[in-house]
Structure 1
């Protein structure tokens, strides 16, 4: 209760209990008699009247401002007057000297009044949508920054949200291209254990839509996206372009911001995006106990009811990576999307098959995987693996010291201080060239021995004063056998899915030859007396 309401209550009580007059009550409480009469008439104090401010400097220009605001009703939305523009025109064209706050107060009030007087459309309202379990979902991309391997990198957060339960699946990548768009769907379907049976709402993403047909919900879809959604039985719903359609998938629009504020703040520091995506799994588990808004049940409880109603996943997977067939240049590199990646030098001059996925690049020769790299994000960047160039370095040992492959191996930690010590000892013992060749032979051991075993073998060989690859190999095997395991590396190479060749119609030579001939007008032959020819004797007329 406010102080004025308490004063009114005291005045009314004294008047009723003690019968004091208006003058006596005014003298007792030190107020005007008019206030006493107001208190006796009503227990609720009248609202305080806000005085209407007058602006004599603005008065001569009000009609001009009103006309500008009226003209704005027919102007494009992005080319209408702002307060700053109105103030600039008043100063430049009419020489007015008015404060910004004065113009803002007037324009803020008059813009709405003029719009209503002109019969403009009222503010758009919203209708609450009824979401059925297992039916609808929403998809969106959002930006996020990550300190990736010590470098601040702009990444993209893919969010897939079920409309009924609010269960959301997230995946972060360095690209928002089509391969990341498709890979996000596959990850979401596997995590949820099924596919929504209703519509999935999208804005007009370029990985899915190539052209928006105006004044229509129809879209020209990207062929690869069309094949993908048919494979997974997806029914898309494309929202209106721009801000007009943002409310049509407001759940996932808010989800991206919620995830960024709660799980990507402060900026995460990771060595790889796989590490961050693995952390997302734990974050999503924690979200099961959260209640959205004023809902009674949690996200996990609603999803338990929704999960059995999702459509089952197809039996065959869909390759989300984009396929390229570049040729390996003389530097042992292949170019993929303005970035370059190394492959073993024995494939120089050959055409290889590359799968560009959201976070990795896989290179095949035939059906054999020959290289796998983390995807690069910077234009013109290069990723080199020292092991790919060892055959060339045996013939050109002097090129090792200044090579980019060695520099990247040092930064990645695969070329350890033990390798550096062995190289220095080998060069002192065998000379510059032969010592480098001995190091290359040691590096070749990594192809069939465990990395830690080779490092242990190098340390044992240095302790014994030996600088040969044979001693390193022997000591590496001893280190593995001492722990009761095999030192040999067992590599399981996944094979890519075979791609069926396109079905093309075979040309018919007969059709090509007869296409230019005139039509045959002759009557069909009569075959009624065909059997008589079986008894025909040579030299005798069958008739």
Structure 2
């Protein structure tokens, strides 16, 4: 802090956008308020293009600043005097915190930060050389904290913005997992905002897709929504062995059993998928009751063929199978009891 010299310090694994932004969130929470202005140097995580007159702030960093209602005013390149307070704070932390911990071994990041917090608190509580009755903490509490802006109702959600040109397969790849976007945007630029749990895809400021973030092996994970597929891809997706078998299982009865036997006998799942898809198509043409009856006849004849079922339905030879009482019914070949008396 510029007036009191009050310090906040922590260690992170990296200086990537996620760690950089999360450190700001934790700092504001520690201060219980928001400073009116942030003065960083020109690290790429914070400043995309360095310029004294018109710097370009990283989009995620800009969103954090807007969320907390503060401004980002970076220093000039290689001008440490532009942030003298920060440079002095770094010197104090190096001599009074890091030097004191140089011989200790930490096995977790939380353990290291706990030790750092303890020593930083001691530095903030140490009497100042100019006035032994004052400390950094006391000056901060009395003079600076009342001038801080209040914290927003919710903390900033850490995420990263990326820009992609949507590929012909209408997916964007995030850490080895492909997420779908509407196929009509193929060849157009989309903005992707990734958080720990959500992947949001935007086009011209409008969110066009949202997916729960997945963990998967690079190049193997795919998350696709059916409404994002073009019509021909939707039709092809309905013919996959998994989709066809699931639909047949949903109808159940003799059809479900016949479908299971067709898949068991097939040399390849795609062969069985086509036959079962043909059975399902016959059900849409002739009705589910007639299809189940034809499937029962096929099972009774130990025939596992879509063509056999189609023949039965085309010839109308399954009507009698719908009679729950069973039997062939009256016909000309029955002799009857009179024949024997």
> Normalising by structure 1, what TM-score?
0.30
> Normalising by structure 2, what TM-score?
0.46
Structure with max Cα Rg? 1
